[in-house]
Amino acid sequence: MKKVLISFLIVFLLVGCGSSSDDAGKSGNSGEKGGTLNIAYMAQPPTLDPHVTVSVATTDIGRNIFETLLAFNERNEAAPLLAESFESSEDLKSITFKLRKGIKFHNGKEMTADDVVASMERWRVLNGKANTYFSNSEFVKEDDYTVVLKMDKPFTIAKYILSTNINFAAIMPKEVIENAPKAGVKEYIGTGPFKLDEWKQDQYIKLVKNEDYQSPRSEPDGLVGKKEPMVDELNFHMVPDASTRTAGIQTGEYDAALQIPYDNVPAIESDGNLKAITHPEGFSTVVYNKRNGIFSNEKARQALNLAVDKKEVMMAAFTDEKFYTQEHGLLSKEFVSWYSEQGKDKYDEYDPEAAKKLFKEAGYNGEELTILTTRDYEDQYQIGVVIQENLKKIGVKSKLEVYDWATLMEVREDDKFYDLMPMGYNPVTDPTQINFLDSRTKYTGWSNSPEIDKLLDQLMVAPSDEAAKEIFGKLQGESWSYLPAIKFGDYDGVAAIRTNIEGFEWFHGPVLWNTTKSN
């Protein structure tokens, strides 16, 4: 394969990713600067060190402080951020990163290859997926502004792992990395548009404008392109109670509030001072226990896929069609590098009579099946209820075992405890992040498909992006035949902003640079 120099793609999309309307996920920008943006946030992060946690709170707040070599653009393609460009070798066993020059950390020091190598080597060990796929790899300095990732085998999708936005590969000063305890760094020094000013535990995290921020010059594009700190301060207020967040945005105490409950959305939409922002939140499934019980038989898994009305499931879980999309793709249409129509025919199937026949062929003999669920996530509970009702219609007995989330996470590891488990997943950005596919991960549900494993291996060493996409199509089709889980659809979350806030966007979390607040 010829060397491909992947330079920054300037893509200015007018439609928000995953939106059902032209302005969903965005609020425009009139260019006014200054002021304080007060955000009602759900939970305090355990740390602001992205290397050591998969906490969404760390990601949402930390992305304003830290930056990465690569990040996702609006087409969910890996694109340069702190890198000027990146180049894959012909054998796909190395990637060369040319760094942007003149980038300064919040302490005034210029970023060089030494900082990048120290940061990436630490992240490579601490990030679970990086530790798996880059365990025999190494980041090395070629010169002050060139870093090379040397891998022991071809790895086509390395760039997607490097662009991950959860547990992300933040670049920090070398000396901070070298002095970091295992629990996480204590000095939160990055290159981002805002820097940490104060953290008052359980109350707020205050970030202030980085006056020396060096923004990319291209148009804003997902998590890359122009990033201008338009307000003087970002205050993340820790407000775990959803009704309190909603009340606070209504009174003007907050300028933005995240995770607004669906039943509060009409009140937001009817208030002339507020705007509701819908955004992609995740996808809903039911995972089979494929190691023990009836669903270790593929015919039984196919039977459930035929027995359950997927539209009924999504409506029960998310209350209104504007909050969900019926979607078969394991990576949905927003992920243009991966999207495939494979498996759609099986997703669309609904035939209770055929399901009844298949259950009988699989050996079902009147036993009561166990559906493991929780009321901590009401959507998952409602999915369990609909599955139970659909099974009852075809003469299959089942019971709901309801636990708090922490207990469910423990008992789900017992392969004799349950048959089915509704589960929601955060959006993934590449196929390796879909936990229930790869049998070698031993993920709950215990997949065991040599064909899927083989396709995953082929995908990782595909000779080109186009070849990887083709292989993923086959993999997705095989997944809908083997059925490690049923995907019911994608669902949205809702944030609220006041109408004097402009430029607010949502892309794998709130995007607060380029956001203004008028008086």
Q: From first to last of its 519 residues, what are the pLDDT tens digits of the chain? A: 433 333 333 332 222 333 333 333 444 454 568 999 999 999 999 999 999 998 999 999 999 999 999 999 999 999 999 999 999 999 999 999 999 999 999 999 999 999 999 999 999 999 988 998 899 999 999 999 999 999 999 998 999 999 999 999 999 999 999 999 988 999 999 999 999 999 999 999 999 999 999 999 999 999 999 999 999 999 999 999 999 999 999 999 999 999 999 999 999 999 999 999 999 999 999 999 999 999 999 999 999 999 999 999 999 999 999 999 999 999 999 899 999 999 999 999 999 999 999 999 999 999 999 999 999 999 999 999 999 999 999 999 999 999 998 899 999 999 999 999 999 998 888 998 898 999 988 889 999 999 999 999 999 889 889 999 999 999 999 999 999 999 999 999 999 999 999 999 999 999 999 999 998
pLDDT (0 to 100) of residue 480: 98
pLDDT (0 to 100) of residue 395: 98
pLDDT (0 to 100) of residue 89: 95
CA distance 299 to 290: 12
Q: Which CATH number fits domain 4-273+499-517: 3.40.190.10, 3.30.420.40, 3.40.228.10, 3.30.300.30?
A: 3.40.190.10
Give the architecture (CATH level 2) of 281-492.
Roll (3.10)
Tell me, what amino acid is at 508? Answer: H
> Token pair of 205, please?
């995290």
- What sign does the dihedral 345-452-449-419 (CA atoms) show? negative
Evaluate whether 490 touches 282 at the Cβ level (below 8 Å). Answer: yes
Boundaries of every domain in the chain: 4-273+499-517, 281-492
pLDDT (0 to 100) of residue 129: 84
> Token pair of 479, please?
């997944």
Q: How far is CA 511 from CA 219, 222, 223, 351, in A?
A: 14, 9, 8, 43
Return the H-helix or E-strand segment holding 482: helix 465-482
CA distance 392 to 384: 12
What predicted TM-score, i.e. pTM, was given to this entire model? 0.86
pLDDT (0 to 100) of residue 427: 84
Tell me, what amino acid is at 358? Answer: L
pLDDT (0 to 100) of residue 18: 35
| Closest C-alpha among 15, 9, 129 to residue 78 | 9
| Closest C-alpha among 125, 420, 156 to residue 288 | 420
